Every structure is written in structure tokens, then in C-alpha cells.
Chain A
Amino acid sequence: MKVRILMRHIREGFKNIRRNGWMTMASIAAVTTTLILVAAFLALMLNLNEMADNIERDVQLDVMIEQTATQEDIQALGESINKLENIDSAVFSSKDDELKKLIESMGEDGQAWEMFEQDNPLNHVYIVKAKQPEDTSAIAEEIKQMSAVEDVVYGQDVVKKLFEFNKYARTIGLVLIIGLVFTAIFLISNTIKITIMARSKEIGIMKLVGATNGFIRWPFFVEGLLLGVMGSIIPIIIVLTGYYYVEDILSKQTTYKFIELLPYAPFAFQLSGIILAIGAAIGVWGSLMSVRKFLKV
């Protein structure tokens, strides 16, 4: 297409936006509302995913060694654990180390445990990590069978629930987002349809003087694109500012250490990009869908 004609279409698209003031506002409002919801869901979902991945990665098995085990038993156990497949690492930690960790993790209250330093009731442990977090429970079962093992401890229930929760969260989130996007397309195509109805005479005349469908469609394409892009401005502002504050607040709190959001840069910018793309896509799609009907003259 010649640049001159393309410029004409873009000019017409802008003119339509201005000419249909209120309907334009309605369409933009529809896109804006949808995109705010989509942005919120996306931010929540991606962060949940990331958190779940983090927790999954951190899942570890504590292999408690029998108090009566000799140095050789411990050595032998270490070797047999290391022979297992799917093991990422197996690190020995003496009961003194374990007590130190415990005291540190308790902070102020930890001092009460210091009296056990003379008579440590804890076990020596091997801290084992699986290559794939899903294999954790199978590995635990295998290690339990080995000699000199008192027990294998890991967050069995937590891990299972987490996997379940993650699966549901992903599906529900995806369904919600797709539903929202379609609602927005429907709203836009309806609002644009009303503006087109007012212009159906113009389209009819264009067809009668020999305009091709493509020629008629282009300005509507531009208009839809503009509606989508304009509709994504407010959601992007909300993402860029809102995420900053939420991340700031959550990074300062210490009660729930595992809640750690994706870093502002680049995540907020990536999310903004996605929102802009979705906005543009629903604008264009909605607009072209509604013009289709009027081209059959």
C-alpha cells in the first residue's frame, strides 16, 4: 500500500475516534476495566508461580541418623544416599551444627536452647535435595529403608498441597483471563457496532462508489488499535505504580519470608508490555468483528 493511502487511513481512524466521542469513551472504559482485572490476575498468577517454584526448589529431606550409629555407619549411609538417582546433593550436618542452626533461627528465644549444648538431644542428619522436587517423596521412601536411618522428615503434606494448589491456580487464572478478554472483545465490538450503525450509510455509499472492503476496513483497524492502546494506558499506570508499592511493602515485612515478589524491573515492564499487547489485540479484533457485517452490500 502507498504511504499516502496508509496516512489517509490513519487520519480517518483518528477522525472517527474524535467524531464518536461518547462511544469512544465507552469502548476505552471497557478495555480499561478488563485490562486492570487481567493485569491484577496476571501479576498474582505469575508471582504465585514464582513463589511455588521457589518453595519447590527449596524442598529438602532431613535424614535423621540413629543416635547409636557409629562413624562408619554414617559414612556408609552417606555413600548409599549418594548412589541414588535423582539426588542433587546430600550434605552431612552434625548434631552440633543442627543445634546452632536451631538457636540462630529462634533469635532471642534461641538462648533457652543453649543449655542443651552440653547434652545435645538432636540427631546427626544428612540434608538431601532432589533434582526434581516431584521425586521427593519417592526418594524419602527409599532412604527410609536404609540402615542407621531413624526417620526421614520433609514437609510431605505441604509439598503435596502446594503442587495441587499450583495446578488449580494456574488453570483457574487462565480461564478467568481468557473469559475477561472475550468479554472485553464483546463489549468493544458492540460499542463499535453502534458507532458503525451510525456510519452504515457512509459505508454503503463507499461500497456503491467502488471502495474495496480492505479500503473500508483500514480506518476501523486503526480505530480499534487506538481504542485498545488508549484503554491500556490507565492499567499500565496502575501496574507501574501499584506494583512498586506492593513490592516495597512486602519486601519490608519479615513475618512471611517465603513471600517474595518478582523484582520490579523487569517484571512490571514486561507486564505492561503484555497489557499493551492484549489491549491492542482486543481493540483490533473487536473492531474488525463488528465491521464485517456491514461490508455485505
Chain B
Amino acid sequence: MIHMKDVYKTYNNGVSALNGININIDRGEFVYIVGPSGAGKSTFIRLIFREVKPTKGTVYVNEMNVNELKEKQVPLLRRNVGVVYQDFKLLSKLTVYENVAFAMEVIESHPSLIRTRVMEVLDLVGLKNKARFLPHELSGGEQQRVSIARAIVNYPKIVIADEPTGNLDPDTSWGIMKVLQEINDRGTTVIMATHSKEIVNTFKNRVVAIEDGLIVRDEHRGEYGYEG
């Protein structure tokens, strides 16, 4: 599903974020990316939906060579990768329903399909009764669930979450994790960068630790392994 070989990434300002990453992630896996701040977790994640391009090495996502992707093909890649951000990235003037429907409109789905599918995913994340609310009328956890709904609405093969619980209290984080686990149980590959020891140690999954741009640990049903 995802395959990286000798991947290096040096930003224009000279900061080298990744220094030779090799990894294979199979269909249906749930992978935590852990490690100290500035270790390269975000860069690793952003490679997958080509928000950044590798300086050296190859990245395959869904049998597509991301390096060689033409500008026109990038949207195709992104339709197969749903992204969940720490800061939700919701459009404040659109309702919950519209925020999710937006992702389907963009890929030119049929209106009747949009209606049923949006209500389906809002049900899945437990927000069916708040479809008409605006983002600022929701709690942080609810907003994050909207962004998860948006990420999965187009049936992506991969869902990527960059610290989805970073801004949320533990109880709320639990709810978010249950939703992500549910999505994973239905066969979607989930890759999640996190700083939460409780989550990693409770919801046991594959753990990949990145330090100084290198993978230093890769365990199935692993532990968080850092203090705090």
C-alpha cells in the first residue's frame, strides 16, 4: 500500500527532516508514528499525500510513484488519501453537512449520492443530529469528528491523521480513537502521528518511532516508549 525506499528530505532552508527512510505499510494496517517534536513525523506523513516531495529516494502510494506524479495526477492520489489535521481545517462559514459534502462535490459526485453518503459518515462519527451546526457551535472533539468524516467520505484507501488528538482532552481523544479504530476495522489503512502515550499503549497497534529523520523502532502491537 505504502512503500518508501531510501527517502531523504531536505527543505530549502537547509533543514534535513528525513535521512533515509525505508518502510512498508500494508493494506488495512493501523500505524502510529511516534517520536520527539521535530524528528520528521510530519514530513513523513506529508510525503504520503504529496504535500512535500522527497529530495531523494522513492515513495509509492497505491502503486503510484509519488515522485513521478504529474501535477494533474496529484488530485487522483489525494482522492485515495483522507487527511485529518490537528487543527481540523474546517471551513467556518459552512455547516457540518456542507463541510463534509464539499469533499464530494470537489470530485464531482452525484448530488443524490452526496446526500446519502454524507449522512452515513456523519452517523458513523456520531454527529448525525448536528449536521446543520456551524463549526464554532461544536466542541473541539466534535469538530475533529467532522474532519474525520470529511476525510473518509470519499472511501479513501488510506486515512492519515497528524496528531488528531493534539488539541483534545483525554475523554474526547478516546472518542476520536474509537472512530479511527472503527474506520480501520472496515479495512482502511490508518496512519497516525501522535504524542499520546495513553492512546498508543491502550489501543495496541504497530508503532514506528522516528528520531532525527530515521526509523529507530518498528514494532507490531508496540508501546509508546517515550516519557509523557
Give A residues with C-beta under 8 Å from B: 2, 4-5, 8, 19, 201-202, 204-213, 215, 297
Contacts and interface: CB of A to CB of B under 8 A. Distances in A.
Given A201-B89, A205-B91, A215-B108, A210 B83 contact: no
B154 interface: yes
Which of A201, A202, A205, A213 counts the most B-chain CB atoms under 10 A from its CB? A205
A210 B79 contact: yes
Contact of A5 (B71, B79, B108): B108
Given A19-B93, A201-B89, A209-B106, 6 more contacts: A204-B89, A205-B91, A209-B79, A209-B103, A211-B106, A297-B51
A215 B106 contact: yes
Please report whether the interface of chain B is mostly helix, strand, loop or mixed according to DSSP: helix
Which of A202, A206, A209, A215 counts the most B-chain CB atoms under 10 A from its CB? A209
B106 to A, nearest CB: 4
Contact of B49 (A4, A5, A8, A208): A208
Interface in B98-155: 102-103, 105-108, 111, 150, 154
22 contacts: A2-B108, A4-B111, A8-B105, A202-B91, A205-B91, A205-B102, A207-B75, A208-B49, A208-B78, A208-B89, A209-B79, A209-B82, A209-B103, A209-B107, A209-B154, A210-B76, A210-B107, A210-B154, A211-B75, A211-B106, A211-B107, A213-B71
B91 A201 contact: yes
Nearest to B83: A208
B186 interface: no
B72 A212 contact: yes
Nearest to A1: B108
Contacts of B107: 209-211
Contacts of A209: 78-79, 82-83, 102-103, 106-107, 150, 154
Nearest to B49: A208
Contact of A205 (B49, B89, B105): B89
Interface size class of B (residues with CB under 8 A): 20 to 34
Contacts, number: 50
Which of A19, A202, A206, A211 counts the most B-chain CB atoms under 10 A from its CB? A211
A212 B74 CA distance: 8
Nearest to B111: A4
Contact of B75 (A2, A8, A205, A212): A212
A207 B49 CA distance: 11
Contacts of B89: 201, 204-205, 208
Nearest to B94: A202
B5 to A, nearest CB: 25
Interface string B34-64: 0000000000000001010000000000000
Nearest to A208: B83
Nearest to A199: B91
Given A201-B91, A205-B91, A210 B75 contact: yes
A204 B83 CA distance: 12
A11 to B, nearest CB: 11
A206 B83 CA distance: 12
A297 B108 CA distance: 20
Contacts of B79: 209-210
Contacts of B77: 210
A223 to B, nearest CB: 17
Contacts of A210: 75-79, 103, 106-107, 154
Nearest to A19: B93
B111 to A, nearest CB: 7
